[in-house]
Amino acid sequence: MLRRPLGKTGLQVSVLSYGASSLGAVFHAVNEDDGIRAVHTALDLGINFIDVSPFYGLTKAETVLGKALKGVARDRYILATKAGRYGADAFDFSARRVTKSVDESLARLGVDHVDLIQCHDIEFGDLKQVVDETIPALRRLREAGKVKFIGVTGLPLPALQYVVERTHVDTILSYCRYSLNDTGLESLLPLLRQKNVGVINASPLSMGLLTDRGAPDWHPAGPEIRAACAAAAELCRHRGTDIAKLAVQYSVACPEIATTLVGTASPEYIRNNIQWCEQPMDGDLLHDVLEILKPIANKTWPSGRPENN
């Protein structure tokens, strides 16, 4: 699989990468053995970057991922996890908590270091604290050899911009902002390019909106976005294809995005996703799908503290 540089980290990441939230059964119940096979399938077919968090399944995703990675050579994968978010409404970006959190993640994952540690969903915290306290604490962990690079994740682009403009981070992870229905992330790319910050795009299927199954009940999108995405999925079905295919192809095509994280605990889905990104996009279908999605293009939803949106 094609690889791209991740900012100035020196890492070369596969354009499609594996998001392990599904291993924590965040979308629907999953079979652990399937999840482990999905991880192995991803690695065998050329994915080399994996992202997880203690929040996913309230530590379950890290635990299952740790089982999957047992016995896999450490140089076969680049591993990212997060710190600061521990539940739907449980956030703690203090130096003390994130420092402890990294040790807990290393134990669950069964590794002695992670390649990337990210402050998870910073818009729920005090951004000044993230800059002045959380990131400096993570830098001390880098000196201790427990993490190699440092990043931040979140939905509202102003929150990511705030941090990038005030301190050095190696990466940002943005989600649901570069997919068929929303390319809002484009507005942040010039700043990220200027600062040479590695760009990780997550959720090319907009957390299920761009699938035949549709989004789960907890999905924050309103009825207008859901209906437009369902209509686009219906058009793809009608043309004998799957909207997930077009969605994956669309997100990985942007050369300024180092990698796009797709999540699934299904070996079949991950195999499809990987094969799809090596096939050409259907330009006519893309045109028609974007027409359907035009009325909701770049429409997102609020996340976190109002002042961080």
Which residues are part of the catalytic machinery? Answer: 56
Nearer to ligand NAD, 145 or 215 (CB): 215
φ, ψ (nearest 5 deg) of residue 305 = -70, 140
Residue 28 CA to its chain's centroid (Å): 18
Question: What is the token pair recorded at 264?
Answer: 């699934």
- Interface with ligand NAD includes 22 (CB under 6 A)? yes
Could you say which of 6, 14, 15, 21 contacts ligand NAD (CB under 6 A)?
21
φ, ψ (nearest 5 deg) of residue 52 = -150, -175
Q: State the first-to-last Cα distance of the chain, in angstroms, to the nearest integer.
A: 35
Minimum separation from the CB atom of position 131 to ligand NAD (A) = 18
Residues in the interface with ligand NAD (CB under 6 A) total 27
Minimum separation from the CB atom of position 126 to ligand NAD (A) = 17
Question: What is the token pair recorded at 174?
Answer: 């943005």
Window of 3-11, 127-135, 156-164, 267-275 that interacts with ligand NAD by CB under 6 A: 267-275
Could you say which of 6, 11, 15, 20 contacts ligand NAD (CB under 6 A)?
20
CA distance 207 to 217: 11
Report which secondary-structure segment, H or E, holds 191.
helix 189-195
- Interface with ligand NAD includes 183 (CB under 6 A)? no
What residues numbered 119-148 form the site for ligand NAD, per CB under 6 A? Answer: 120-121
Binding mask 150-179 for ligand NAD (x = CB under 6 A): ---x-------------------x-x----
> What are the respective helix, strand and coil percentages of the chain, to the nearest 5?
45, 20, 35
CA distance 113 to 147: 5
Beta bridge partners of 202: 175, 261
What residues numbered 187-246 form the site for ligand NAD, per CB under 6 A? Answer: 202-208, 211, 244
Minimum separation from the CB atom of position 56 to ligand NAD (A) = 7
CA distance 87 to 305: 16
Window of 40-48, 106-114, 222-230, 260-268 that interacts with ligand NAD by CB under 6 A: 260-268
Window of 20-28, 106-114, 135-143, 223-231 that interacts with ligand NAD by CB under 6 A: 20-28
Question: Is residue 243 classed as helix, strand or coil in its secondary structure?
Answer: helix
- Interface with ligand NAD includes 51 (CB under 6 A)? yes
Helix axes 95-109, 135-143, angle to 10 degrees: 50
Beta bridge partners of 78: 49
Interface positions with ligand NAD (CB under 6 A): 19-22, 27, 51, 120-121, 153, 173, 175, 202-208, 211, 244, 261-264, 269, 272-273
